[in-house]
Amino acid sequence: MRLLHTMLRVGELDRSIRFYTEILGMTLLRQKDYPEGKFTLAFLGYGDEKENTVLELTYNWDTSSYELGNAFGHLAIEVDDVYQATERIRLQGGKILRDAGPMNAGSTIIAFVEDPDGYQIELLATKP
């Protein structure tokens, strides 16, 4: 068994694809419209789906926003340098929720950013 993907519902597909590709450096792997169901699925990631867990963005054509609720926590992305990644995201217009620095009660370097729909993304330093 392996984890295939995580799905997020988004209010504006093109805006979300731009964020995940241009700001977070993912690749749009595939995208398909389902006219009968009135939705589009887009799969993005850092590598081929056969070998990597990816992100599925679901765009329901008749819904422009969602209430995120309080059960979902965040996505986590490993980066070489959290400080550099945070600054690059800031310069590209990304929203920084927590600047890079040691985690509370620990030494792991982390930061939090937010995607256009309000989902939180944790940046974690690559483990040596």
Q: Is 78 labeled as catalytic in the residue annotation?
A: no
Phi, psi of 120 (to 5 degrees): -90, 140
Residues 6+ apart with CB under 8 A from 7: 55, 56, 57, 58
pTM: 0.90
Stretch 56-74: mean pLDDT: 94
- Confidence category of residue 1, pLDDT binned at 50, 70, 90: confident
Which of the residues 49, 67, 114, 122 is marked catalytic? 122
At which residue do the structure tokens 């990304």 appear?
94
- Confidence category of residue 13, pLDDT binned at 50, 70, 90: very high
Superfamily of domain 75-125: 2,3-Dihydroxybiphenyl 1,2-Dioxygenase, domain 1 (3.10.180.10)
Query: How much is the CA Rg of the chain, to the nearest whole Å?
Result: 15
Is residue 127 over pLDDT 90?
A: no
Could you say which architecture CATH assigns to the domain 5-60? Roll (3.10)
Q: Check if 5-60 and 75-125 are the same fold.
A: yes
Stretch 22-38: mean pLDDT: 97
Closest CA to 86 of 98, 102, 74: 98
Stretch 78-93: mean pLDDT: 97
Structural domain spans, the chain: 5-60, 75-125
